[in-house]
Structure 1
Amino acid sequence: MPQLGLEIAGRQIGPGNPPYVIAEIGINHGGSADVAREMISVAAATGVDAVKLQTFKTGCFLSRKSAYFDVLAAAELSPKDLKALSEHAATLGVTLFSAVFDEPSADVWNDLNAAAFKIASGDITHLPLLRHVAALDRPVILSSGGATMIEIARGLGEMRAVSPALPVAVLHCVSHYPTQPKEANLACMAAIRAAFDCPVGFSDHTLGTATAVAAVALGADIIEKHFTLDRAAEGPDHALSADPDDMKRLVADVMVAWESIGKNKKAPVESADHVMQIRRSLVAERLIKKGEVVTRTMLGVKRPGTGVQSADIANVIGKRAAADIDADDVITWDLLEE
């Protein structure tokens, strides 16, 4: 049975919890473990919850005739590199995990006691990989760029056939880069949550932070954003990625968005004294002498709201003043005869 929430490295993710922000390094390290180490350090300092890599054996998922083969092959990190990077992230208090593109890569991360696995959008229909990852019985974040609801259902079904209680979150995603905000279709997250009763999120390929903020306002439990040290660096993902300043701003902005959502209940947060100052009371439009019968023309409606409310005006008209009431004085019940 699908679970409403999930936990990654002790962090609860789902309704009622702050958005889980992932800095997606991907292949922006270019195959250098030293660069990846620096990126993890800098990303951790921005306040993200997790940093994510992409782990693959290029020959296992990409044709050698692909224009990207050499780029991706050069960006592979060894199991030894991944172990050292995981240990480094642990010292910084940030969670490091990876998208895995083939079974051997998933096994490497399983041996590293991965906190979670990510399945990239393009692999939502790679059912053998989904089943293999599900069998490792760790939390899974499933990205759905280019997918239909039927394809999401099939992918989840395949994983849960292997591990019925597998904790899974589904990320809405538009997989071409950069995504235009008008293409984001954030409203579909509600449909995903309703259909699959799981945490939802947004893998953000837009520029800036506005779309991520909107996603959180619409209920995203997870925000994932590509991360780079330099947006001008060479490589396919740097230009669309958030640099350190961008990522720090994103973390701050989505937290403000989450904090401002509140609860599905209308109740005043202002103090009662403040509310009374912005509301109105009945006031005397002129001097009303003691014993005089109050008429409608004697009454105005002005701030503050510390006296008789205007809704009670019919109960005031016709009463006698119990004392002199000066012009612009707020009328209180003790100034009127019973």
Structure 2
Amino acid sequence: RKVAATGKPMIISTGMASVAEIDETVRVAREAGCEDLILLKCTSSYPASPEDSNLLTIPHMRKLFDCPVGLSDHTMGIGAAVASVALGACLIEKHFTLSRADGGVDSAFSMEPEEMGQLVIESERAWQALGKISYSPGEQESKSLKFRRSLYIAKDMAAGEALTPENLRIVRPGYGLEPKYYNVLLGKKVKQAVKKGTPLSWDLI
């Protein structure tokens, strides 16, 4: 209550707390004046195992308490922390040491500078990769559509000549009709002379 009453943002770790205890904490903090609250999913074992991390709790917690959620991570390495970003974590807490060899209470599971740097890079990449729900080619992907296969004339053809497996081929690039039309077009006749290497289009049939 005293911290919440300052009006400053609060970060609250939920290690070992039940859902009822978290609910009580959030309600008390908000009633006391805290408007900016982040909860951290936390497994209070040192080090924590990935199997005990239960990161799927993060989106559930975010929806249940209507606030941003992060991860207080005591696992080794950066895998769990990066995965948490994909599940909506907006903040990651990690123990840090200049050197595990120097010893200390938390040294065994603390990150060294190079590892922390990798966590920063990879968690940002994970966040950038989330993007949006999309099934169509993106702007950069559109440039690669030409590398798809499509239907091309494989031999010089005279007007009225029928398409056969010998003169109709599925090759790159993707400027011709889609390969799914191959069987439909076999036996169809071209209405004009066509040179070998011409991408097939409906106006030639």
Aligned to 2:69: 200
Amino acid paired to 1:272: S
* Equivalent in 132, 136, 149 of residue 19 of structure 2: 149
- Deviation by residue 1:189-244 (Cα, 9 ceiling, x = unmatched): 01101101111110110111111111112211000101112212242112211121
State, as a whole percentage, how many aligned pairs show the same letter.
39
* TM norm structure 1: 0.55
* TM norm structure 2: 0.87
The Cα shift of 1:300 comes to: 2.7
Q: How many residues align?
A: 203
2:192 corresponds to 1:331 = no
The separation in 2 between residues aligned to 1:273 and 1:137, in whole angstroms, is 50
Q: Secondary structure at the match of 1:300?
A: strand
* Equivalent in 116, 119, 142 of residue 247 of structure 1: 116
Structure 2 spans left out of the alignment, 5+ residues: none
Name which structure has the greater RCO, CA cutoff 8 Å, separation 6+. Answer: 1
Aligned to 1:275: 145
Asked if the contact 2:163/2:185 (under 8 Å) is kept, the reply is no
Asked if the contact 2:7/2:35 (under 8 Å) is kept, the reply is yes
Structure 1 spans left out of the alignment, 5+ residues: 1-130
The separation in 2 between residues aligned to 1:333 and 1:264, in whole angstroms, is 33
Aligned to 2:59: 190
Q: Secondary structure at the match of 2:93?
A: strand
* Equivalent in 41, 45, 48 of residue 179 of structure 1: 48
The separation in 1 between residues aligned to 2:61 and 2:2, in whole angstroms, is 23
Amino acid paired to 1:331: L
The Cα shift of 1:247 comes to: 1.2
Cα distance change of structure 1 residues 197 and 317 upon mapping to structure 2, 3 Å threshold: farther
Q: Secondary structure at the match of 1:229?
A: coil
Amino acid paired to 1:276: K
Q: Which runs of 4+ in 1 moved over 6 A?
A: none
Aligned to 2:87: 218
Alignment of 1:29-48 (within 5 A): none
Asked if the contact 1:290/1:325 (under 8 Å) is kept, the reply is no
